[in-house]
């Protein structure tokens, strides 16, 4: 299956079934990374402090969802298994510390 064939499938159900049958190298090739925040790339596993474009400050651990269209997610503590998707851009991003060992920056 080619990238064009995968994204040409009629709906997400068909893509989900195809996703189960392709190899990991094909999955890396087919992933659409458009929803990842460029400012958070490489900070997965780090606790950060961000200032949003409208002036709000908050802290979270940067996570990343799985699947063919991953996004960054905001994890509020180390025990979190999920959270809201992170914003696409921030006024500022300040790395605080590595919260999850084994993750790279």
In the predicted structure, residue 104 carries a pLDDT above the cut 80: no
Q: What is the mean pLDDT of the segment spanning 41-54?
A: 95
pLDDT digits (tens, 9 = 90+) for 1-44: 888 888 888 888 988 888 888 888 988 888 888 889 999 999 99
Question: Are residues 64 and 101 part of one domain?
Answer: yes
Whether the CB-CB separation of 15 and 68 falls below 8 Å is answered with yes
Question: Are residues 103 and 56 part of one domain?
Answer: yes
For the chain, the farthest-separated pair of C-alpha atoms sits apart, in whole angstroms, at 45
Q: What is the mean pLDDT of the segment spanning 55-83?
A: 91
What is residue 11's predicted lDDT score, i.e. its pLDDT? Answer: 86
Please give the tally of structural domains in the chain. Answer: 2
Give the global pTM.
0.79
Sorted by sequence, the CB contacts under 8 Å of residue 66 that are 6+ apart come out as none
Domain interval for residue 4:
1-30
């Amino acid at each position: 299956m080619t990238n064009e064939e995968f994204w040409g499938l009629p709906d997400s159900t068909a893509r989900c079934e195809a996703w189960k049958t392709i190899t990991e190298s094909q999955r890396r090739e087919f992933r659409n990374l458009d929803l990842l925040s460029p400012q958070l790339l490489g900070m997965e596993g780090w606790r950060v402090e961000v200032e949003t474009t409208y002036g709000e400050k908050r802290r979270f651990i940067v996570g990343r969802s799985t699947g063919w269209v991953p996004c960054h997610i905001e994890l509020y503590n180390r025990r979190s298994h999920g959270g809201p998707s992170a914003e696409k851009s921030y006024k500022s991003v300040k790395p605080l510390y590595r919260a999850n060992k084994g993750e790279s920056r």
